[in-house]
Structure 1
Amino acid sequence: MQRLSSRASRGVGSSLKLLRRGPSPASPASPSSPSSPSSFVPRCCFAVSTLNLRKTRQPAIPGDFSRWVSLGCCRTSRFATGFAPLERKPLDSIMDVGRVKDRSAEEIASAWDDYHLGRGHVGTSMKAKLYHLLEQRSVDCRYFVIPLWRGSGYVTMFAQVQMPHMLLTGLEDYKASGTQASPYMTVTFYTEFAESKDLVLIRGDVVFTSKLSDAEAK
C-alpha cells in the first residue's frame, strides 16, 4: 500500500510539473516565458483579440447598392437603397442600330415592340421630351407612387428611379418589407435615338409574373 501510495504521489507530482512547463513540445515556449499555468492567459486573450479585430476589419456591404445586382438570374432580392447598379445591356446587342438609323421613329418603335413579344420582356417607347421630364423629376424625388388599374379597382405600385433604370414593386410589399421588398419589374431606358428621332426605347423585365402580368407591365 505504501508503494502504491508513493507511486500515485510521484504520478501527481509529475503531472503538476508538466503543467508548470507550459506549452507542449509541438509549440515550445521561449526561454523567457513564465513557467506558471497563468502564462497561457495572455496568449488566449491575444488570440481572441486578434479574431475580434479581424471581424471588425471585414468590409461592410454598402447600404446603397448591397442587395440588387440581381434581378433575373442574378437577383439579390433587394430593392430601393439595397440594389446594386444594373448592368445595362447595350442597345446594339439587341438590335442592329446601323440598319435602323435611317428608318422613321414609328418604324423603329414598332419593330422594338414586336421584337420583345413572347421573349419574356416588355418593349415600348416614349417621346424624348417626356423622358427628360421624368429624368428631371427623378433628381428631385427618386420615388413615385403609381396606380395600376386591376379589375374593378386598382393596386398601387411603388417605383424608384435610378436613371437609366426604374424599379417597381407593390406599395404594400414596400410597406411590409421596406428596402428588402423584391421588385415586380425592372425597366431600362435607351436614349440612343432621343436627339435624332425624338424617341426613347424602353425595355421591361417582369421579375414576378404572379404579381404582374406582361399586359399590366406594359
Structure 2
Amino acid sequence: MQRVSSTSTIWRTIATNARNLFLFNDPSVHSFSTVSIGVTSRKLHQPEIPCDFLKWGSLGFYRTSRFATGFNPLKQKPLDSIVDVERLKDRYAEDIASIWDDYHICRGHIGASMKAKLYHLLEHRAKECRYFVIPLWRGSGYTTMFVQVQTPHMLFTGLEDYKARGTQASPYFTVSFYTEFAESKDLVLIRGDIVFTSKLTDSEAKWLMETAQSFYLNDVRYKLVERFNKETRDFEFKDVLQALDMPIL
C-alpha cells in the first residue's frame, strides 16, 4: 500500500515521462505492449440461468466471444463482432443500453453506456489531458493506478508497473467506447475488458472505469486532471484522495 508523498516531484516525473513516451498519435508506436492471456487464467463463472438469453439472441449477440486473450490499443474489437448491429437499429436507446449491460454481467467484461454529449466532452478533454492517477482502495490502504485516455480507449495499469517498465507496461484493464449509435440514438456503448484478472476484480474494474469518467466529466474533478497534465508542480495527490473521500495515509 502507498503513502502520500509530501513533494510533487514524483508526479512531475511521471507526467513528463508520459508526455514524452506515450506517442499514441503515431500508429507505428504502441503505448502498451500487446499481452497474451490464456483463457485458463480464469474460469468464468457461469450462472445457472445466465441473465437473459432471449434478449441476447433476439439482438444477435455473439455468445461465443471469448474472454480477453490480448489487446492492441490501436485495433478496437469491432462492435459487429460482439452484436449484430443491424438488429439494434430498430430498438430504442434505453432498450439497447439495458440489454448491453445485462449481456456483460458474469462474463468477465464490464458493460456500460453514456449519452453522446458526455462522450464528446470526454473526448474533447482527453485530447488536452490524457493522463491521470487514481487510488484504488484495498483493505487498509490503496494502490495507485495510472490512467491513459486516448478515445475511443481508456487504459489502466499499476503506477508501480508504469514506473518500472514505462511503455512496456501492460494494461491491467482496457475500456473501449463504441460510437456507432451516437448520432442516431444519442448513445455510446462502453465495454471494459480485464486483461489481468489477478490484478483486478470485476468490481474494482467497474469502479475504476466509473471513477475515471467522473474525473473527466465533472467540472470540479477535472481541474485536478488539468493540474496533473498542465501544472504538475501544483498537483497534490492528497487532493485526489479528498475528492474520493479516502483517508490520507
Out of 91, 109, 117, the residue aligned to residue 121 of structure 1 is: 109
Matches within 5 A, 1:25-174: 64-65=29-30, 68-70=33-35, 72=37, 75=70, 85-151=73-139, 153-174=141-162
How many pairs align? 150
Judge conservation of contact 2:70–2:195 (CA < 8 Å) in 1: no
Where do 5+ consecutive residues of structure 2 fail to align? Answer: 1-26, 39-68, 207-249
Aligned partners of 1:115 and 1:182: how far apart in 2? 27
1:200–1:67 distance in 2 versus 1, CA, 3 Å: closer
d(CA) in 1 for partners of 2:33, 2:96 = 31
List per-residue Cα deviations over 1:58-79 (Å, max 9, x = no partner). Answer: xxxx982286244546649xxx
Aligned amino acid, residue 170 of structure 2: S
Alignment deviations for residues 118-173 of structure 1 (CA, whole Å, 9 cap, x no partner):
32221111221221111112211221222334345443221112221121111222
Question: Please, what TM-score do these two structures have when normalized by structure 2?
Answer: 0.53
Q: Match of 2:44?
A: none
Name the residue aligned to 1:213.
201
CA RMSD of aligned residues (A): 2.5
Give the 4+ runs in structure 1 shifted more than 6 A: none
Distance 1:92 1:107 in 2: 18
Contact 1:68 1:75 in 2 (8 A): no
Distance in 2 between the 1:163 and 1:72 partners? 24
User: Where does the alignment leave 5 or more consecutive residues of structure 1 unmatched?
Assistant: 1-61, 77-83
> Matched residues, percent identical?
73
Alpha-carbon spacing, 1:178–1:63, altered in 2? closer, same or farther (3 Å): farther
Equivalent residue of 2:101, what SS?
A: helix
Alignment correspondent of 2:163: 175
Distance 1:64 1:181, change over 3 A: same
Residues 142, 197 of structure 1: alpha-carbon distance in 2 compared, 3 angstrom cutoff: same
Structure 2 vs 1, CA of residues 149 and 129 (structure 1 numbering), >3 Å: closer, same or farther? Answer: farther
Name the structure, 1 or 2, with higher relative contact order (CA <8 Å, separation 6+). Answer: 2
Alpha carbons of structure 1 residues 205 and 111: separation in structure 2 relative to 1, 3 Å:
same
Normalising by structure 1, what TM-score? 0.60
From the superposition, tell whether residues 103 and 153 of structure 1 become closer, same or farther in structure 2 (CA, over 3 Å): farther
Say if 1:146 and 1:158, in contact at 8 Å, map to a contact too.
yes
